[in-house]
């Protein structure tokens, strides 16, 4: 696993071969962050939440690029330990690694974030519920961005806060943002109904 850019650029971390996690490929991760740079200035005291953190590749990239606080949520004990280990290796105080269930975390967390990334298993039964859960929670700051990584069989184009979709082989990213204009449009549509 390689850090693409920022203060830890070119740092490599060897992922144990026993891991079940499917890390976001370097190519798709680099492409993702090229797009994110148009939406977010990570060096402007931004906070981020990395759900289903897996190997921590997105978390370390966010910290490397300047996020002031990154919360990583991962249920698997070995993966959680690996993320904790790499954060200790780079001696960052910006990482907060939580071992726990993502759905319980979404329900109970009272912190708000500028950016949320979720990379659930592609075959997760309730993967399509995740955008609604995020937007029905209070996790997102105003105009915050949410990105969901998913397989090719999922489409979120009809979601009211959908922005865009990018595909890199089998890796797909759907971008969402709840802005004042989109909220107003939804309220108008509900009045018409």
What DSSP element (H or E) covers 49? Answer: strand 47-51
Percent of the chain with pLDDT over 70: 92
Strand partners, 87: none
User: pTM of the predicted model, to two decimals?
Assistant: 0.90
The residue ranges of every structural domain in the chain are: 26-192
CB 54 within 8 Å of CB 23: yes
pLDDT band, very low/low/confident/very high, at 22 (cuts 50, 70, 90)? low
pLDDT in tens, 155-184: 999 999 999 999 998 899 999 998 765 544
177: tokens are: 């943002």
Tell me how far CA of residue 188 lies from CA of 25, 135, 144, 192, in angstroms.
Answer: 41, 18, 22, 6
Does the domain at 26-192 match CATH 1.10.10.10? Answer given as no
Is residue 94 within 8 Å of residue 56, measured between CB atoms?
Answer: no
Q: Tens digit of pLDDT for each residue in 104-148?
A: 999 999 999 999 999 999 999 999 999 999 999 999 999 999 999
Q: Which of 127, 124, 71 is nearest to 96 (CA)?
A: 71
């Amino acid at each position: 696993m390689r850090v693409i850019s920022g203060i830890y650029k070119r740092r490599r971390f060897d992922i144990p071969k026993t891991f079940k996690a499917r890390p976001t490929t370097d190519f798709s991760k680099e492409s993702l962050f090229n797009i994110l740079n148009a939406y977010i200035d990570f060096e402007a005291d931004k906070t981020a939440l990395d759900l289903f953190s897996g190997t921590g590749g997105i978390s370390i990239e966010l910290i490397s690029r300047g996020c002031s606080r990154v919360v990583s949520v991962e249920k698997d004990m070995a993966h959680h330990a690996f993320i904790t280990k790499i954060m200790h290796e780079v001696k960052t105080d910006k990482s907060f690694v939580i071992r726990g269930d993502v759905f319980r975390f979404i329900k109970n967390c009272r912190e708000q974030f500028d950016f949320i990334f979720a990379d659930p298993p592609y075959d997760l039964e309730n993967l399509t519920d995740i955008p609604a859960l995020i937007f029905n929670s209070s996790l997102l700051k105003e105009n915050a961005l949410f990105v969901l990584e998913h397989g090719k069989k999922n489409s979120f184009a009809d979601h009211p806060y959908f922005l865009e979709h990018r595909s890199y082989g089998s890796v797909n990213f759907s971008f969402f943002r709840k802005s004042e204009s989109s909220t107003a449009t939804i309220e108008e549509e509900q009045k018409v109904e």
